[in-house]
Amino acid sequence: MTKLRLAIVGAGPAGIYAADILLKHERSFEVSIDLFDQLPAPYGLVRYGVAPDHPRIKGIINALREVLDSGDIRIFGNVRYGTDITLDDLKRHYNAVIFATGAVRDAALNIPGIDLEGSYGAADFVSWYDGHPDVPREWPLTAQSVAVIGNGNVALDVARVLAKHPEDLLPTEIPDNVYEGLKASPVTDVHVFGRRGPMQVKFTPLELRELGELRDVDMIVHDEDFDYDDAARAAISSNKQLFVIDKVFSQWREREVGQASRRLHLHFYAKPVEVLGEDGRVVGFRYERTRSDGAGGVVGTGEFREVPVQAVYRAVGYFGSPLDGIPFDERHGVIPNHEGRVLGDDNAVVPGVYATGWIKRGPVGLIGHTKSDAMETIQHVLNGQSGWWSPAEPDEQAVVDLLDSRGVLYTNLDGWHRLDQHEQELGAARGRARIKVVPRDEMVRISRD
């Protein structure tokens, strides 16, 4: 019987969903799947890209855990593609590979001053407060007033974590170094800037509601932003999510403010123009006031405003990273593909190479969208036997021997169970669900027992 030896690079939701769909799909051949990830622990952005005070979203880990614990997939953590294992290695041991490496870099925002000291990418900050092992343990939280540029869920996550009193994060799995860093922060004001109006936002009603529930934080919105045109009113009446968002804003506009020790300001119709600096450091943010064009977009008004801030976080989207030996679209930050089949420079299908998730379609959609995305890719894997590689060493032990010969300290599923239990025990000792282990070498040591 034909047997498919499949490698999946990336153990986040995209990679795990792809493996699960393939295993459950009706097929005429056996399947053997190895999942590789550069991090010692699985789950990707669910573990390292979702704010610690989002337990409902993190509940998706339970579904991912069931897939891994089924025993049908091997996982190799702490293995870097391109160095620890290469494309040539994959061709020698597998029939095909699916890249599910996601998008973890910050998209660029090309305005003057964006590279000043005190200007940061939101993705890096998220990695810090989520305890990613490859970012510094400390974050420079010295600003009293902060600007967050963007109107998506990540922008609101960043704003919420900055404005929230850190002791209110203690029931979560927040790492100790992150709690201590936030505890020392002198922040009093967080300003969120969006280029378009309040009915063109990219965040969800749940994210917005959570902002208004912050203890001892005033929500500041401005009446001038809510002079709706016909297009906005039509959107509210026809879109349930926008109806709820408008209702939340209406409630905030009626609140009394001025009693809280911290303030979270939402500015709409604010197009980023410049990060202002003195002596190489951020001292302010300059934006142009925009107005609706009546068709869902905005145009500039020629009115410019400035807000004094000492730090700026850009949350204008994620961006994929190139992979060794794999075609890459530098403009869009994705692997060029047609329905998951990777395309070369000549636009021809590259045999044996597939993509799924954000590295396939860009960083759009919620985690749930990844399932339908993976189904499309898997269908092409199933139908693409003629393009599979013919591995010289397909035996399952061969890749283990390869990693051992290179001294790669890889982690496996049993190792993840050990780390998972260790983090839960750390939390239980202090009345918390979990406390993340942050240093990579410690994660590996615990995982490898």
Please list, in sequence order, all residues whose beta carbon lies within 8 angstroms of the beta carbon of residue 403, skipping any fewer than 6 positions away.
Answer: 76, 79, 84, 85, 410
Dist CA 45 CA 418 (whole Å): 20
Instruction: Answer whether residue 34 shows pLDDT above 70.
Output: yes
CA angle at 261 for the pair 255 and 265, rounded to the nearest 5°? 55
Give the model's pLDDT for residue 1.
54
Dist CA 229 CA 159 (whole Å): 28
Higher pLDDT, 309 or 45: 309
Tell me the whole-structure pTM to 2 decimals: 0.93
CA-wise closest residue to 225 among 158, 272, 289, 315: 289
Higher pLDDT, 12 or 59: 12
Dist CA 124 CA 105 (whole Å): 8
In terms of CATH, what superfamily is 3-104+321-410? NAD(P)-binding Rossmann-like Domain (3.40.50.720)
Instruction: Answer whether residue 155 shows pLDDT above 70.
Output: yes
Please list, in sequence order, all residues whose beta carbon lies within 8 angstroms of the beta carbon of residue 213, skipping any fewer than 6 positions away.
Answer: none
Give the model's pLDDT for residue 229.
87
Confidence of residue 301 (pLDDT cuts 50, 70, 90): very high
Give the model's pLDDT for residue 395.
95
Q: What percent of the chain has pLDDT over 70?
A: 98
Instruction: Answer whether residue 296 shows pLDDT above 80.
Output: no
Give the model's pLDDT for residue 29.
84
Instruction: Answer whether residue 18 shows pLDDT above 80.
Output: yes
Mean of the per-residue pLDDT values of the chain = 94
Q: Tens of pLDDT along 189-229?
A: 999 999 999 999 988 898 899 899 999 999 999 999 999 98
Sheet with 311-314, strands from edge to edge, namely 119-121, 311-314, 145-149, 189-193, 262-267, 217-220
**Does an H or E element contain 301, and which?**
strand 298-307
- Residue 445 is encoded by which pair of tokens? 């040591």
Residues of the chain with CATH 3.40.50.720: 3-104+321-410
Confidence of residue 107 (pLDDT cuts 50, 70, 90): very high
Q: Tens of pLDDT along 156-180?
A: 999 999 999 999 999 888 999 999 9
Give the model's pLDDT for residue 54.
82
Please list, in sequence order, all residues whose beta carbon lies within 8 angstroms of the beta carbon of residue 97, skipping any fewer than 6 positions away.
Answer: 6, 7, 8, 9, 87, 90, 352, 353, 354
Instruction: Answer whether residue 56 shows pLDDT above 80.
Output: no
Mean pLDDT of 89-109: 95
Please list, in sequence order, all residues whose beta carbon lies within 8 angstroms of the beta carbon of residue 59, skipping any fewer than 6 positions away.
Answer: none
Instruction: Answer whether residue 2 shows pLDDT above 90.
Output: no
Q: What percent of the chain has pLDDT over 90?
A: 81
Residues of the chain with CATH 3.50.50.60: 107-318
Mean pLDDT of 418-439: 93
Mean pLDDT of 133-162: 96
Give the model's pLDDT for residue 366.
67
CB neighbours of residue 360 within 10 Å: 28
What residues form DSSP beta bridges with 32?
5
Fold of 107-318: FAD/NAD(P)-binding domain (3.50.50)
Confidence of residue 60 (pLDDT cuts 50, 70, 90): confident
Confidence of residue 28 (pLDDT cuts 50, 70, 90): confident
Mind giving me the DSSP string for 93-155?
A: H-SEEEE-----EEPP---TTTTSBTEEEHHHHHHHHTT-TTS-S------SEEEEE--SHHH
